[in-house]
Structure 1
């Protein structure tokens, strides 16, 4: 299952996309960029969470 090693980076890609989307919405007075910024923040959080969880599982498998 080596592809699980690369899946957290998908969250970073989505975060970059939503930050770009928020910057685009920032210039339009009719749009609100806050939802895009929250989703981007959630993506960054999920990146670190999944990476930490994967490291925990890897350490647990080494001990067994």
Structure 2
């Protein structure tokens, strides 16, 4: 389960990509930039959630 420490950073990569995508779509007339920003916000939230979960998991394993 050591890979869980590193998979959380994938969410940051996705968040950065969707922020970039949102800024590139900002000047388009269709107005779909908000979806990219929402996905980026979700990805950043998932990064912090997974990091907190990984810390709890490590603390639980250290106590055992």
Q: Same fold judged by TM-score > 0.5?
A: yes
Give unpaired runs (5+ residues) of structure 2. Answer: none
TM-score normalized with structure 2 length: 0.93
- The list of structure 1 runs, each at least 4 consecutive aligned residues, that deviate by more than 4 angstroms after superposition, is none
CA RMSD of aligned residues (A): 0.9
For 2:63, the equivalent position in structure 1 comes to 63
For 2:35, the equivalent position in structure 1 comes to 35
* SS across alignment from 1:26: coil
Instruction: Measure how far apart 1:26 and its partner are.
Output: 0.2
TM-score normalized with structure 1 length: 0.93
